[in-house]
Structure 1
Amino acid sequence: MRGLSRSSFAAVEERFNAVAATADLGRLAEDLFAVAVLLDREHGLRRNLGDPARPAEQKADVVRSLLDGKISDAALETVIAAVSAKWSRSVDLSDALERLSVIASAAEAESLGRLDDVEDELFRFGRIVDANLALRLAVVDPAAPVEAKRGLLNDLLGDRVAPASLRLITQLALHPRGRSLERGLEEYIQLVAEQRQQLVAVVRSAVPLTDGQRQRLASWLRTTYGRDVHLNTEVDPRVLGGFSVRLGDELIDSTIAGRIEEVRRRLAG
């Protein structure tokens, strides 16, 4: 989000934080995402509710008439705050509700002491799907029945992951909102990490890092970037030796494979 939408989101998030303090966070997350999906499906409704020229109270009345009694009071108040704000694009309204749904899920996980689990589980699921073509096709196939996908994810993940992880993965599988599964998981992981002002680093190494290596790397990254860094690690024999660290668009590459590629580039140049 940029400009007007960014400032509007900050104001809506304040209202969200106030109602979330005493809300059922899981229900709040599900309701907000359901409304985001509704607005994605009903383009005319989204344009009307996202129209900055329409009076805020008029839009709030529309939301009450449509959703009162169908979603929780906390979700209703959040949606009313969202439609009362001004957005640069109407799609930013849906994006804001999805983002708040992820934040509510993260808050639920934190209240259960499972926020670290959620970050790890989202990352691991992405890697499992990437390595299993049949599973990937079953999860991302737009023609597959919604309930079949939901049942597959429940059977596969069920009580093996935190409730927030299952909810977020299911949301992306059923309603990707124009993104690849990988891109959606990356966005959700970043939003979850932001709840503790953490950066997220993806570390690739030829062999698993020891606990001591993870601790030293996390300490070095924290000193370098001035913020705590959550490490998502993956073993990739193709790196040959050493490791690489990716934070957003920045890559720190100390792998043997990376050095060989650098030599190749220099020779080619």
Structure 2
Amino acid sequence: MTVLGGASRQALASIRVEFAKLTSKFSADAAEQLSNDLFLVLRTLTSSIALRRALTDNSRESKAKSDLVADLFAKQISETAITIVASGAKLRWSTPNEYADAIEQLAVEAAANAAAADGKLAEVSEQLFDFAQVLIANPELRQTLNSSNEEINRRVNLLNSVIKGVYNKYTNLLLNAVVTNLRGRNIDSTLSQFGKYVSQSESKVIAQVTSAVKLSATQIDKLANSLSKQIGKKIQLNVDVDPKVLGGLSVRLDDELIDGTV
């Protein structure tokens, strides 16, 4: 499982807000294209540590980073993808690799958004799980797809010979991305990570709120909307009233705690 450092978690939250704004009205086809674009960027980042460092160097001016992104990718990917990648490069990341992790997550989420727009998101989640079972049942297939000794094109061709006509196009996109973006992981952990990102796209983020007093429906809606804008996802609030708290409130999102209690 990918666990981001503190600075990277904040950066990911920021870039996801930008991502949500840019893609809120995307069709399935547009979201699918964005996913392909971001996976192209991810492969380029993975192949060049110098590029990852250049785009996450905090001493480098934001314009220089944006210009670098445009110079490298303007003829290959959409303006939306350019904006997302450049916006991410302007933020502070704990490590260069975690910037690539974020691009990977957004690429998977774009594919999930495409599937959702086509009414096939739940199917994608089920099919990713099904392929994980296929790997378990076929150790030779798993070993070949996992092998760094096999050329990527050969692994991709083998994959597509197995999944042709079995899964929908969004699942096929993600499975091809798994095979071409192992990034030092094995296929099982990469597939599991992609599955987690898809699963997150299916549901709301649950925030645990502790308050000194009972919150009104208006206050709850206002807090949920504020948090949703910050992380770029819908929020479900579970609110507890703690009489030990003198004032304020705390919000826990996964492993991140925002404590404003007294």
Could you state the TM-score of these two structures normalised by the residue count of structure 2? 0.72
Deviation digits for residues 224-247 of structure 1 (CA, Å, limit 9, x no counterpart): xx99xxxxxxxxxxxxxxxxxxxx
SS at match of 2:57: coil
Aligned to 2:174: 168
Aligned to 2:231: none
| CA distance in 2 between partners of 1:124 and 1:198 (Å) | 24
Q: CA RMSD in A?
A: 1.8
Aligned to 1:100: 106
Aligned to 1:182: 188
Structure ranking higher on relative contact order (CA contacts 8 Å, 6+ apart): 2
Q: How does 1:182-201 map to 2 (within 5 A)?
A: 182-197=188-203
Deviation digits for residues 211-269 of structure 1 (CA, Å, limit 9, x no counterpart): xxxxxxxxxxxxxxx99xxxxxxxxxxxxxxxxxxxxxxxxxxxxxxxxxxxxxxxxxx
Q: Which runs of 5+ in 2 are unaligned?
A: 206-236, 239-262
Q: Which has the larger radius of gyration?
A: 1
Contact 1:29 1:102 in 2 (8 A): yes
Could you state the TM-score of these two structures normalised by the residue count of structure 1? 0.70
Aligned to 1:14: 17
Offset at residue 22 of structure 1 (A)? 4.5
Contact 1:26 1:104 in 2 (8 A): yes
Aligned to 1:148: 154
Contact 1:33 1:98 in 2 (8 A): yes
What amino acid sits opposite 1:17 in the alignment? A
| CA distance in 2 between partners of 1:73 and 1:22 (Å) | 15
Aligned to 2:118: 112
Aligned to 2:84: 78
Offset at residue 158 of structure 1 (A)? 2.2
Offset at residue 170 of structure 1 (A)? 1.3
| CA distance in 2 between partners of 1:171 and 1:41 (Å) | 15
Q: Given the alignment of the two structures, is residue 159 of structure 1 paired with residue 165 of structure 2, yes or no?
A: yes
Deviation digits for residues 155-184 of structure 1 (CA, Å, limit 9, x no counterpart): 221232121211111111122011121111
What amino acid sits opposite 2:22 in the alignment? V
Residue-pair matches, total: 201
Q: How does 1:1-269 map to 2 (within 5 A)?
A: 1-23=4-26, 24-197=30-203
Q: Which runs of 5+ in 1 are unaligned?
A: 200-225, 228-269
Contact 1:109 1:162 in 2 (8 A): no
Percentage of matched positions with identical amino acids: 27
Contact 1:37 1:94 in 2 (8 A): no
| CA distance in 2 between partners of 1:112 and 1:154 (Å) | 22
